[in-house]
Structure 1
């Protein structure tokens, strides 16, 4: 499915009437974005640069206006045709907005403003709210990136305890299996890219493309040859061992790594007798590392059982920290993987005396799809408006749900011992009490002001640990 892109229609229907609803004399509206709470106490800010490059650098055209006029009339909502025509006349169709944001890769406690938006031309006070729909979609890469970053911390703790070279192991311990489980190619691209802030392993090619297009990264992630059930079961049950032998023949080269799903029929028989007996010497002689994917069953139990059997068949070494490391083989679990099951699997692995270096995890739906805007309770809210030359606070505080109380006034973000959201002035948007607003200008009047590489963002996120 291919949809034409019209910036005027990249909003919610009800926003088309909002230009008629602000008080007379309104000249500027200031809004902010925050995570109000949720599953994690800190969020990894990421993805705004991609959204700005994709949707905010192209001008509105007369053709866009004509299409919107026709569609919105049939849709039954008002259309600010004069306002959009003035946008083209005065600004060449580009948005007279200033967007400020925390540096991408920053890990920010919930409850803080991580981004602000204000119009730079008083004639376009209505535009700050109009672009909310497009800009608030940043919740998705932030939430994916947040999940991935917190899982990284979980895995890092296990590796620090049990692995000889934890820093070398960590980047490839969580692999993105989520491309087929998301709603669209665009979601795969943006979510897959967000995962790559914290890890290097992925099967989501769309994320690799997005890293090139939006973050100047020639190659953001890596994968290995791997079997799926069809390439094993096509040999028939009686040919299961031949299917595995073919994988070794095709990909078992010295120093290489390849993965084989091994639960098509009987994972225990496959690991114990096929891999562990009939093909054992073939694997060893290949000089490659075989990664067995057990998948089916309770993840905590099946990973532990697979490690135990492989250890008995291929042998183990005891590393410098006193934990067992498999020879010639490793394990990847790709079914039932989520942040909680990863914690449980790692706890069991360590309790059984195995290094976390033996295992990687493939996470799909739980990484890219099993989340929504309320996972971290994201909101884009107006907090101030300039009316007749005077800034006034704008906020809501529902008596039925004080958790939805919004912030008021002109806001910025500062760092000290801790991040804090603070009042800023109405001209330079710098903290009234002194210091520097960490929400730096990244977009102004149609121009991208900051264009960072994925490498810079990765370094920032890693330093936050």
Structure 2
């Protein structure tokens, strides 16, 4: 049995794609398709992730071995295999896919129902190829874009809370930490989703995301973390030695300008705050010159966070900022990493505001809700064909199901413009005139035509947050 290459793009497709080369009308020479988020939970999306896919997969040619492997698998699977078509790509194009891909700049914040990507075959003998790539290309776009969008909306929520209840928005970049690596479906998912989160924040424990941002976007170090305890490193000391476990964390990691996070609910969170941190280790915390970050890890997040802050203020004090909200001293803060979602962040911050507690006191850690509890329907992503060239004539292609108008697709070759009012609009390419098309070629025939840095992506995404 032959070991199959995991990077064989021919097999990176849905099964039924294999039979589609026989299904287009005769004399079809070009097929043009686009990708959009049709709607869903958000009205704005943050486009991100295409460059990773282009570099990792489409910039590598197929080989004779890839064709042979695919032929064996697909025919044994019960489907016809387009051996002549793939051999043509190998012979005429040295194995590089004859496709042109246009895209918006990564990091763009755009309304849903805006074309993000447009793809067309460049060889008239390969009209079938445009749709064949749908499975891999759509997945490469919908997942990182959805994570980046979710993270971006969380950033907006937190920023708005800081603007209402804090003197500054300093520290916003570290207010949502990625705890999602262990809850992701694979290491590659963690890498892609982890990089997507870093578009908006700089706190992460997902090392794979750092590597993806470094490898594909030139980010030398896109995110940061701090020493932090887990339950095993606390409970290993035994319940009677809980204070010693906490003291060990301070001895090992605390100091001027340093942060250390300690999970404090292995047994009794309230006892830990009131007696261990608030009495036995009080002077060690206040005198360290750094910041202790207390982490609750159980219970109802909305009530637990506010109660934790209230109790910490009782033992460590607080000051009232210029907006009338209470703030802990710099030596202590809280991070909530259990039960965190976009909705629970809003609920926690609302409860804090009602109690007169500044958002400056809190940071959040999000795990599965960030990297795993999203799917293609979160933003109703789709890739649809909008135009075909048959015998030299372009024809509109679209779907318009009478049973679901939300699945109505766009017609014709497309362009994206910025209107005089500053809004992005998807129009027909034939209506472009002298207007600038924001869909620009990023890939053609195996070559990545332009690359963007992680810093550029971040700047583009953040300039949209008021």
Question: What is the TM-score when the length of structure 2 is the normalising length?
Answer: 0.97
1: CA distance between counterparts of 2:131 and 2:237?
A: 58
Q: Which residue of 2 aligns with 1:158?
A: 161
Between the aligned partners of 2:150 and 2:161, the Cα distance in structure 1 is 17
Alignment match of 1:89 (pick from 84, 91, 99): 91
SS in 2 for 1:307: helix
CA deviation string 1:262-289 (max 9, x = no partner): 0111111101111011110011121110
Match of 1:145 among 138, 144, 148: 148
Match of 1:298 among 292, 297, 300: 300
- The answer to whether the 8 A contact 2:230-2:262 is kept is yes
* CA deviation map 1:357-395 (0-9, x unaligned): 110000001111111000000000000000000000111
- State which of 61, 66, 77 in structure 2 corresponds to 1:64: 66
- The reply to whether residue 419 of structure 1 matches residue 424 of structure 2 is yes
Please state how far the C-alpha of 1:322 moved relative to its aligned partner. Answer: 2.6
Query: For the residues of structure 1 that align with 2:4 and 2:123, how far apart are their CA atoms?
Result: 34
1:354 aligns with 2:352: no
Match of residue 231 from structure 1? 233
Change (3 A) 1:432 1:255: closer
Task: Give the equivalent residue in structure 1 for 2:394.
Answer: 391
Q: 1:191 aligns with which of 193, 199, 218?
A: 193
- Cα distance, 1:3 vs structure 2: 6.2
Q: Which residue is 1:116 aligned to?
A: 118
C-alpha distance in 1, partners of 2:408/2:320? Answer: 55
Q: 1:97 to 1:2 in 2, by over 3 A?
A: closer
- Which consecutive unaligned segments of at least 5 residues does structure 1 have? 426-430
Return the offset for 1:14: 0.6
Question: How far apart, in 1, do the equivalents of 2:177 and 2:387 lie?
Answer: 43
Question: Structure 1 residue 205 and structure 2 residue 210: aligned?
Answer: no
- Partner Cα separation in structure 1 for residue 254 and residue 353 of structure 2: 29
Counterpart-to-counterpart distance in 1, 2:434 and 2:373: 41
Task: Specify the SS of the correspondent of 1:361.
Answer: strand
* Runs of 4+ with >3 A deviation: 431-434
Q: State the Cα distance separating 1:432 from its structure 2 match.
A: 3.2
* Residue number in structure 1 paired with 2:457: 457
Task: State the shift of 1:105 in Å.
Answer: 0.4
- Which residue in the other structure is 2:276 paired with? 274
Deviations 1:102-142 (A, max 9, x none): 10000110111111001111111111001001110110000
Give the aligned CA root-mean-square deviation in angstroms: 1.2
CA apart distance, 1:350: 1.6
CA change 1:157–1:2 in 2 (3 A) is farther
Q: Secondary structure at the match of 2:102?
A: strand
Residues 180 and 190, structure 2, Cα contact 8 Å, conserved in 1: yes
**Structure-2 residue corresponding to 1:428:** none
- Give the alignment partner of residue 403 of structure 2, picking from 392, 400, 404: 400
Separation of aligned partners in 2, 1:432 and 1:257: 53
Contact 2:4–2:69 (CA<8 Å) still a contact in 1?
A: no
What's the CA shift for 1:84? Answer: 0.8
For the Cα contact (< 8 Å) 2:411–2:428, is it kept in 1?
Answer: no
Q: Offset of 1:433 from its aligned partner? A: 4.2
Partner deviation per Cα, 1:39-66 (whole Å, 9 max, x = no partner): 0001000000011111100001011011
What SS does structure 2 have at the residue aligned with 1:335?
A: coil
What is the aligned length? 459
CA positional deviation for 1:321: 2.6
User: Which secondary structure does the structure 2 equivalent of 1:198 belong to?
Assistant: coil
Provide structure 2 residue ranges, at least 5 long, that are not aligned to the other structure.
none
SS of alignment partner, residue 116 of structure 2? strand
What's the counterpart of residue 174 of structure 2?
A: 172
Deviations along 1:176-226, one digit per CA (max 9) or x if unpaired, are: 000000100000000000000000000000000001111000000000000
Out of 14, 28, 40, which is 2:30 matched to? 28
CA distance in 1, matches of 2:396, 2:361: 55
Aligned-partner Cα distance in 2 for 1:115–1:414: 13
1:447: which partner in 2?
A: 447
Alignment partners' CA distance in 1, 2:114 and 2:164: 33
The Cα of 1:88 is off from its aligned counterpart by: 1.2
Partner residue of 1:372 out of 366, 370, 375: 375
Shift of 1:348: 1.2
In structure 1, what is the Cα distance between the partners aligned to 2:97 and 2:70?
17
Distance 1:134 1:68 in 2: 16
Structure 1, residues 333-369: CA drift from partner, whole Å, max 9, x if none?
A: 0011001110011111122222111100000011111
